[in-house]
Amino acid sequence: MRSGLATMIGLQSDMEVVGEADNGRAAVELAKKLSPDVVLMDITMPELNGIDATRQIALLEPSPKIIAVSLHSDHRHVSDVLKAGASGYVVKDAPLDELVLAIRAVFRGKLYLSPQIAGGVLHDYRRCVPENASPDFAALSAREREVLQLIAEGKSTKAIASALYVSKKTIDTHRAHILAKLHATSVAELVKHAIREGLTSADP
């Protein structure tokens, strides 16, 4: 799908694809290196989910405009990624020309939401619907969410420490805090939390 999107975008006379990433951490590093005007961000990605990757990219100077492109159309994911700093949200089954429209809209400083989700999102905001995230999960820091995702993806303590440029002892400390905050007693329980909260997929 990424290759197809890149080809389609490259055909636009006013657009150029400057980089592609196959995981959230690589996306953040490329955004830092290439300073793109617009980033297309999948929400469900390995190593660092799209919501936390969006949060990190949104803090860059200059800050790229970010469009979430996702299979998820529920209001929770839409709300989370918009709060993280995205300017647009397009569902993956939308026509390709809709994505082009979204890119042009956010580049001009506007917010873009796929029509099939826009009404529900506005309805929720107007009614101030409370967050659906569990209080325990909401208590995790951004770094703890990163560690939780990597644990759920089966990464070893050594691999996680290497990916985050910290010591194994630091990762052990994060793991202990995560277990305590989620009231979990095993890695299996952590994996269930990560899947339920959308940090990772149940697919192998």
- Reading the chain (204 residues) residue by residue, the pLDDT tens digits are 777 788 888 889 899 999 999 999 999 999 999 999 999 999 888 899 999 999 999 999 888 999 999 887 777 788 888 889 999 999 888 888 889 999 999 999 888 888 777 655 555 544 444 445 567 788 888 899 899 989 888 889 999 999 899 999 999 999 999 999 998 888 878 888 887 777 776 554
In the numeric block, the tokens 């290497």 are attached to: 162
**Domain 2-127, architecture per CATH:** 3-Layer(aba) Sandwich (3.40)
Helix (H/G/I), strand (E/B), else coil: 40: strand
Asked if residue 112 lies in contact with residue 102, where contact means CB atoms within 8 angstroms, the answer is: yes
- Structure token pair of residue 170: 């630091």
- Can you tell me the distance from the alpha carbon of 188 to that of 194, in angstroms, rounded to the nearest whole number? 10
> What residue ranges of the chain are covered by domains with CATH 3.40.50.2300?
2-127
CATH fold for the domain made of 135-196:
Arc Repressor Mutant, subunit A (1.10.10)
> What residue ranges of the chain are covered by domains with CATH 1.10.10.10?
135-196
Specify the pTM. 0.69
Helix (H/G/I), strand (E/B), else coil: 105: helix
